[in-house]
């Protein structure tokens, strides 16, 4: 069969096809002049390594076409928060520390109360609703209490992981 194929090529005056040689693709390197381009200068950052790809909080290939496509993408057009409008880390951590500790202790204390008095776990959301309806005197505690959530599944997990005796001793 192979001989007949070669004879067909000879009769038609064509040579058999040779396999194509794969050419090595050229990978574009980052160019410093791209950071000066008005379309890219506000968001394009030069990579640390000269052979690396540029980054705009997202790695893309080093070609001008890819940069233009990225500039038009929804990911790039997401609004970034203005640093002057952001709350400092220390202030946000202080607020979180105060409210989260109250929320956590309330959740654990409710779970311990249910376990100690051998109440059904399905009562936990209703008991929490009762506590929320009775507004505490402290405004901060009232706001924190509104954020507390305790379903029967969460209550079960707290009791199982914390242990009944440990939780009962913690309430005192």
99 close to 140: Cβ distance less than 8 angstroms:
yes
Q: From 93, 94, 111, select the one nearest 149 (Cα to Cα).
A: 111
pLDDT digit string, tens, across residues 42-81: 667 776 655 544 445 555 666 677 777 777 776 666 655 5
pLDDT at 83: 52
pLDDT digit string, tens, across residues 137-148: 677 677 777 777
DSSP state for residue 55 in the 8-state scheme: B
Helix (H/G/I), strand (E/B), else coil: 45: strand
Q: State the alpha helices, DSSP H only, in the chain.
A: 2-12, 64-72, 74-77, 89-116, 124-133, 139-147, 152-162, 164-171
Q: Mean pLDDT, the chain, as a whole number?
A: 68
Task: Please check the confidence at residue 164 and state whether its pLDDT lies above 60.
Answer: no
**Structure-token pair, residue 19:** 């396999």
> Residues 159-168: what's their mean pLDDT?
62
The span from the CA of 20 to the CA of 148, in Å, is: 68
pTM of the model: 0.35
pLDDT digit string, tens, across residues 2-33: 555 555 555 566 666 777 788 877 777 777 77
Q: If pLDDT is split at 50, 70 and 90, which confidence band does 125 have? A: confident
């Amino acid at each position: 069969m192979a001989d007949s194929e070669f004879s067909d090529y000879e009769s038609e005056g064509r040579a058999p096809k040779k396999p194509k040689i794969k050419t090595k693709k050229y990978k574009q390197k980052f160019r410093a002049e791209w950071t000066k381009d008005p379309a890219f200068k506000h968001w394009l950052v030069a990579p640390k390594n000269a052979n690396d790809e540029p980054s705009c909080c997202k790695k893309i290939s080093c070609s001008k076409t890819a940069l233009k496509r990225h500039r038009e993408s929804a990911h790039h057009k997401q609004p970034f928060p203005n640093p002057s409008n952001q709350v400092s880390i220390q202030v946000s951590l202080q607020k979180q520390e105060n409210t989260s500790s109250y929320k956590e202790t309330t959740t654990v204390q409710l779970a311990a109360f249910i376990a100690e008095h051998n109440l059904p776990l399905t009562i936990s959301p209703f008991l929490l609703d009762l506590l929320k309806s009775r507004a505490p005197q402290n405004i901060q505690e009232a706001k924190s209490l509104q954020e507390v959530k305790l379903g029967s599944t969460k209550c079960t997990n707290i009791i199982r992981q914390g242990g009944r005796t440990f939780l009962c001793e913690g309430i005192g």
